[in-house]
Amino acid sequence: MKDILSDAELTEIESRANRASRGPWRSYVEGRDHTSGSGFIMTGPEEMRGQDIELAGASVADQDFIAGARQDIPALVNEVRRLRDLLRVA
């Protein structure tokens, strides 16, 4: 396994995140977050909702992870870039 994430790989990750449906994404699990219907991932802000994402075969943890990734990946990319900039200055 490779240890270093190249700038090109980081840009590819960011590009995939930018092409995904608008965030934030929120995981709704039947019985935990609502009481009727199946689990789904709500996309977009409340006032401009996008299409819901429905998953087959995913665990609750999987669904929560996927929904969280929409916010987590851009934050992580930004943090990696911020830290790299600090290292370049040092």
Given this model, what pLDDT does residue 2 score? 61
pLDDT in tens, 9-36: 999 999 999 999 999 999 999 999 999 8
Query: 76, 9 in Cβ contact below 8 A?
Result: no
Q: What pTM was computed for the model?
A: 0.87
Pick the closest to residue 13 from 2, 25, 4, 5 (CA basis): 5
> Given pLDDT bands bounded at 50, 70 and 90, which one contains residue 1?
low
Our measurement of the distance from residue 87's CA atom to the centroid of its chain's CA atoms, rounded to an integer in Å, reads 26
Q: What is the mean pLDDT of residues 69-85?
A: 97
Residue type, 14: E
**DSSP-assigned states of every residue in 15-65:** HHHHHSPPS-EEEE-BTTTBSSS--EEEES-GGG----B--SS--HHHHHH
Q: What is the mean pLDDT of residues 45-56?
A: 95
> Given pLDDT bands bounded at 50, 70 and 90, which one contains residue 90?
confident
